[in-house]
Amino acid sequence: MITVGVEEEYLLLDPLTCMPVPLAEQVRAAAGLGPIVEDQEVQSELLQVQVEVATPVCTDLEEVGGHLLRLRHAIGTAAEKNGCRIAACGTAPYREAAPVPVTQKARYLAMRSQAPQLVAEQLVNGMHVHVAVPDRATGLAVLNRLRVWLPTLVAMSANSPLWDGTDTGFASWRTLIFGRWAVSGPPPRFEDHDDHERRVRALLDSGVISDTGQLYWQARLSDKYPTIEVRCTDVQLRADSAVMFAGIIRAMVATAIRNEEDGLPVPDCPQELLLASNWHAARHGLTGQLLDPEGRRRSAGDVLARLIDSITPALDETGDDREVAALVHRLLQEGTPADQQRRALAEGGLTGLAGLLFSETVAP
């Protein structure tokens, strides 16, 4: 069984105004007082209005879901004790004119010096899925095979349509905000592991990035763990939607490993077309059309069906097929979290939006 772990980022919002509040240290401290949160499971983020959680290494989706619910409830309770709420949304729907405080860590302060406006607007939350790979060479082969599907995951996970109290017209505005960093978006195709290492070294030697943590590709080899890290998805409103993505991404990795072992051709898409596909996915989510892995326009349902068909044998092997299929069906019926945010705001204004964000984030 290939192991998997999930990291999620949440915003701390005022319960009445939905404005971000810089209470991360207080919330982290309060969450750590109980017996249900372990060391390193609750972490600081770039801005003091954000909290990050990380599950332990998991072998099945039930474990992933249990840990995410446990951590969401612990952080949610700690937030309420400090007069705020947690919200699993990809962008802050509202924000103050003045920049929010940066967490006082040397790395974060250096980032603010390097790109002050980008840091000031980094009010975005993602979900990162780590899937174990046997070695970095295999991980690189997986990366080459996954990259063409990243825009589809962006579209499926879209949960950030709002910014400064208005609809951006994008389903995943977070994708556009994150795409402004020097090294970001879908990763390029690499010839082999040595090629990857040479090109990463060239980026570091250029001085534009200071460490490999600033390789903000939507999928990358982890330097901390023996994993490939898929980080293109917006954080999900509901914990069970995050479980769905953990299952899908693990199956994508398992399928890529098997296809590599069987010597199947590596799917390819020119980098410029993949970047356009990623932009299109962020713009439209699952409404209308997407570009398939070859860059051809297809209905979003057809592209999603093709992805699921390609990973079904891997889902069957882990016993995740029925759970993932049910959650994908719900996604197609209800729309993305971006669609849900838009409906809540249109039907209930700020109160309706706040009710959706706060209730769904801790929903069982």
pLDDT at 5: 98
CA distances from 10 to 28, 33, 238, 268 (A): 12, 19, 12, 34
- At 40, is the pLDDT very low, low, confident or very high (cuts 50, 70, 90)? confident
pLDDT at 34 exceeding the cut of 70: no
pLDDT at 175: 98
Q: Using a pLDDT cut of 70, give the percent of the chain over it.
A: 99
pLDDT at 33: 64
Sign for the pseudo-dihedral over CA of 119, 151, 153, 333: positive
pLDDT at 31: 87
pLDDT at 32 exceeding the cut of 90: no
pLDDT at 35 exceeding the cut of 80: no
- Please name the residues in contact with 15: beta carbons below 8 A apart, sequence gap of 6 or more: 83, 84, 85, 354, 358
Centre a 10 Å sphere on the Cβ of residue 5 and count the other Cβ atoms it contains. 21
Q: Indicate the domain borders of the chain.
A: 4-361
pLDDT at 364: 87
Q: Distance between CA atoms of 241 and 328, rounded to whole angstroms?
A: 9
11, 89 contact by CB (below 8 A) = yes
pLDDT at 1: 83
pLDDT at 38: 75
Q: Distance between CA atoms of 197 and 52, rounded to whole angstroms?
A: 29
Q: CB-hemisphere CA count at 13 Å for 134?
A: 8
pLDDT at 97: 87
Provide mean pLDDT across the span 39-60.
93
How does pLDDT run across 185-234, given as a tens digit for each residue? 999 999 999 999 999 999 999 999 999 999 999 999 999 899 999 999 99
- Beta-bridge partners for 160: 172
pLDDT at 179 exceeding the cut of 90: yes
The whole-angstrom distance between residue 211's C-alpha and the CA centroid of its chain comes to 21
Provide mean pLDDT across the span 63-86.
97
How does pLDDT run across 347-356, given as a tens digit for each residue? 999 999 999 9
CATH number of 4-361: 3.30.590.20
How does pLDDT run across 255-299, given as a tens digit for each residue? 999 999 999 999 989 999 999 999 999 999 999 899 999 999 999
Q: Distance between CA atoms of 180 and 279, rounded to whole angstroms?
A: 12
Nearest to 153 by CA among 186, 184, 120, 177: 186
Q: What is the dihedral of CA 91, 156, 8, 236, to 10 degrees?
A: 70
pLDDT at 68: 98
Provide mean pLDDT across the span 322-339.
97
The mean pLDDT of the chain is 96
pLDDT at 251: 98
How does pLDDT run across 80-131, given as a tens digit for each residue? 999 999 999 999 999 988 889 999 999 999 999 999 999 999 999 999 999 9
pTM for the complete prediction?
Answer: 0.97
Residue with tokens 């999930």: 6
The whole-angstrom distance between residue 67's C-alpha and the CA centroid of its chain comes to 17
How does pLDDT run across 145-161, given as a tens digit for each residue? 999 999 999 999 999 99
- DSSP codes of every residue in 95-108: --SSPPPBPS-HHH
